[in-house]
Amino acid sequence: MNPIRRPEVVLASTSPYRRALMERLGIPFRCEPPNFDESSVAADELSPRLLAETLAIGKAESLSRLDPTAVVVGCDQIVHLEGRILGKPGGIPQAVAQLEAMSGRMHELITAMVVISGEQRFAHTDVARLRMRRLDRRRIERYVESDQPLDCAGSYKIEERGVVLFERIESEDFTAITGLPLLALTRILAELGFETP
């Protein structure tokens, strides 16, 4: 008797953090960079939540079109602070400015995930609320120098030293904060016939 052949799982991401989270499920998968131009989305016309969801859809669809038999997982994260979206800083001065703006305040970290399997589509969005401790400029500069969060929206790596910046985190799924909501993904993959250990 031949074993049931499951479709290939593709994570539409090059993030080492998402890869590490995905590995925790014990399901074979591969990572591919999404073939999606994020600048094609009119970000200023969408709510932060809808923007994250639109970007996750675009990433998943870009690879699903290339391999319609695969199960493709696309994700995106948006940091939302009092009406502003904080992107990847790109440089040290911008990272320091973002962290100064968030110091002592609550912000939202919106993680959107879309899973496409043929004609089936599943979506999940987690909205975490994080309150940053009050931090002086010296402490912020020291953090930026040590963690180099220049490629992270909001200028922090919570999965690294960035966790010390926070006094409170509210989330239904703590793995969503680091980029991939495993509780929802496990449920979706189970619906598609995958078994986790």
Which of the residues are catalytic?
76
Is the sign of the CA dihedral 164, 168, 173, 176 positive or negative? Answer: negative
Q: How many CA atoms lie within 13 A of 4 on its CB side?
A: 6
Is the sign of the CA dihedral 152, 156, 160, 161 positive or negative? Answer: positive
What DSSP state is assigned to residue 138?
A: H
Listed in sequence order, the residues at least 6 apart from 111 whose beta carbon sits closer than 8 Å to its beta carbon are 52, 75, 76, 77, 125, 126, 127, 128, 176, 177, 179, 180, 181
